[in-house]
Amino acid sequence: MAVKTNSSPVLHMDDPGVDEETKRRIDEVLAPDIWRGIKKQGPVSNMDKKTKKKIIRQFTPMLFWNVNRDTMDLDAHRVDIVERVLERGEMRDWELLKKCYTLEGIIEIALKIRYLTPMALEFISSVANIPKEEFRCYKWQQLLPARWGY
């Protein structure tokens, strides 16, 4: 049975609660490269907790309106942070994100995000110089049938 951790809303292969059978099923159903661990890139890995908290406080408050920013961790919630900055962030949030994770790290995370708005997808695609067809969110949208009359 799949296990969700409190640290992240996404099931990761590295989580201690995920048994081998679940890993095998995920690899069969999803593309195997999607769930391989995302590398901890950038200077975030070398920071102490106090510095990480200060950085989280520098992001625009509206990005994290529904969560307690004091309990967020730059390492554990990196996928959520990247997704929110791409979706709703301002340019200063983007610059701060690049300082935290490096551009390569952001691109690696963005390639595996399940959903991005078309505008966010176009932005990260042009910044990364990668065709939007390579992103998981684009492939995922192609699998969803369109509703009648919309």
57 and 127 part of one domain: yes
74 and 94 part of one domain: yes
- Structure tokens given for 127: 């910044």
63 and 137 part of one domain: yes
pTM of the model: 0.68
* Greater pLDDT, 46 or 12: 46
Residue 149 covered by a domain:
no
Looking up tokens 């004091």, which residue turns up?
70
Residue 150 covered by a domain:
no
What would the mean pLDDT of 91-110 be, rounded to a whole number?
92
20 and 76 part of one domain: no
Whether the per-residue pLDDT at 59 is higher than 60: the answer is yes
**pLDDT score of 120:** 94
- Cα 93 to Cα 55, 56, 127: the distances in Å are 10, 10, 15
Percent of the chain at pLDDT above 90?
Answer: 39
* Greater pLDDT, 58 or 15: 58
Residue 93 amino acid letter: D
What would the mean pLDDT of 51-77 be, rounded to a whole number?
89
- When divided into structural domains, the chain yields a total of 2
Whether the per-residue pLDDT at 47 is higher than 90: the answer is no
Whether the per-residue pLDDT at 26 is higher than 90: the answer is no
19 and 82 part of one domain: no
Whether the per-residue pLDDT at 113 is higher than 90: the answer is yes
What would the mean pLDDT of 85-108 be, rounded to a whole number?
93
109 and 125 part of one domain: yes
Residue 57 covered by a domain:
yes
**Domain limits for position 59:** 45-143
Comparing CA positions, the residue from 82, 98, 97, 101 lying closest to residue 42 is 101
Residue 148 covered by a domain:
no
What is the distance, to the nearest Å, from the Cα of residue 106 to the centroid of all Cα atoms in its chain? 8
**pLDDT score of 10:** 46
23 and 72 part of one domain: no
- Which range, 30-39, 46-55, 101-110, 137-146, has the best average confidence (pLDDT)? 101-110
53 and 100 part of one domain: yes
4 and 60 part of one domain: no
Whether the per-residue pLDDT at 80 is higher than 50: the answer is yes
Distance from C-alpha of 73 to C-alpha of 7, rounded to nearest angstrom: 8
28 and 96 part of one domain: no
**pLDDT score of 50:** 85
What would the mean pLDDT of 51-60 be, rounded to a whole number?
89
At 148, is the secondary structure helix, strand, or coil? coil
